[in-house]
Chains A and B, each alone.
Chain A
Amino acid sequence: MVMQVISGHLGWVRSVAFDPSNNWFCTGSADRTIKVYNCVIGSYRFSLSLFFSPLLIWDVASGRLKLTLTGHIEQIRGLAVSSKHTYMFSAGDDKQVKCWDLEQNKVIRSYHGHLSGVYCLALHPTIDILLTGGRDSVCRVWDIRTKMQIFALSGHDNTVCSVFTRPTDPQIVTGSHDTTIKFWDLRYGKTMSTLTHHKKSVRAMAPHPKEHSFASASADNIKKFSLPKGEFLHNMLSQQKTIINTMAVNEDGVMATGGDNGSLWFWDWRSGHNFQQAQTIVQPGSLDSEAGIYALSYDVTGTRLISCEADKTIKMWKEDETATEQTHPLNFKPPKDIRRF
């Protein structure tokens, strides 16, 4: 199922974001660079280096170096590409949130205010605002244009490590290391609801692209909630038994979760059944302990999955079209009772 392995970064690859046009994707790494890859062949397109090291931009066709830029000084933990503007947003451990203009490949804005590392980043789908959550246990709402901090959504007791936004209420959902998930009312910057179902920190959340529900992953369980109100739906039927760093869902209801031990599990969204368990193979020369998945993302069509890993590689996963019932026997033994807690 692994289609391609791209190894270009010099450090852990911590974040990934797809271009809305599905032509390219960018990855942010612990080597302080953002690299932009062409989606079609996975060829290195360009990279935005952020500490005075060269930021390499490669031409799609010829693979030549096009541009060199500078920027972040710590690892990049969050990336997002705007669908309305030619902007890309990056956030890193250096407390900086930057707005890159992809026409000039330059930092054109930086959003100053986080008191500690920024761990997650999200763009609002309809309004021009940017959401960042960080180690200062605050989710900050920024006006993209004016760089103004509109709200500091404080209420979490620990690092805010996951955030996603929706066009309707609740417009912001944050997950934190204090094991809670909070819904926020964007109009007033107030909490709408707090979900305390998790026992361990909620490091990853993923809304379903169509249904009004989202799943949240912590080290103990992956839970599914309905959305407008945040009613608890159910747990996933098995436990990955590792720290889950990231998760992604596509429209077909295939949810992928990436663990800190390099396990990549695939789940059925509806039933919560784990139908496949994959394990990444570290690139030669890495330690076994360097098997770890930090970021996962489906492309816009939801056919390809990209995983960013601790062995400094980016792996592209694809559905195996030749898979049949015979080659991949489905063993579905649902548990007698679903775990509730």
Chain B
Amino acid sequence: MLIETGDLRMVYQVGATPVHALTGVAITVDHGEFVVITGASGSGKSTLLNLLGCLERPSGGWYRLEGKQVEALDDDQLSRFRNQKIGFVFQTFNLIPQYNVVENVELPLIYRGVEKGARRARSLKILEQVGLGDKIEHRPSELSGGEAQRVAIARALAVEPVLLLADEPTGNLDSRTGTGIMELFSDLNRQGATVILVTHSQEVAGYGRRTIEMRDGRIIHDSATGENQRC
């Protein structure tokens, strides 16, 4: 099993009032799955994605990624773990403006300490794969939204992650470009990548092979189990 969580909880302190973003989530995801998490804003889907991406530690419960106890890792270990296991794709692309396309893709490999020649070669290969082999010297500001998101996906893939996480990857794109991006995710999934994607668009959710619906910090429906956890 790639992902196993139990009773995962997240509490944020907003001023004096605690906000319960997750109130006990148990989920398992196997290698090669394409999971789409849906729900209204504030339902906790982004928080769950951040936790699964090892960006922060849960307030309670447990999370094992490839058998590793994530909540026990310290900040440096979490950083390295993210670097080795996880690729992130964001709604706003989040490319680094002072770097050109290929430098953006290389960045995670720099943090991994991959030597210059090897990381350049790998980045070029991935850019070719996402269809941007001819734009490697472009700055992010010179790219269209769809191209920028492809670069972001290439960056996520550069480290050969076991888990590809995407938070509303089509949220800033027109529908035609969004379709292209979703087809890219589908392709990657068919080639073996495990994808977990957060969206509130029904159309996007249709690309998933498994959908999880969240409300008020818990899972209310999981198409894999078919069970409704509504209470």
Q: Do A and B bind each other?
A: no
Interface of B with A (CB < 8 Å)? none
Interface of A with B (CB < 8 Å)? none
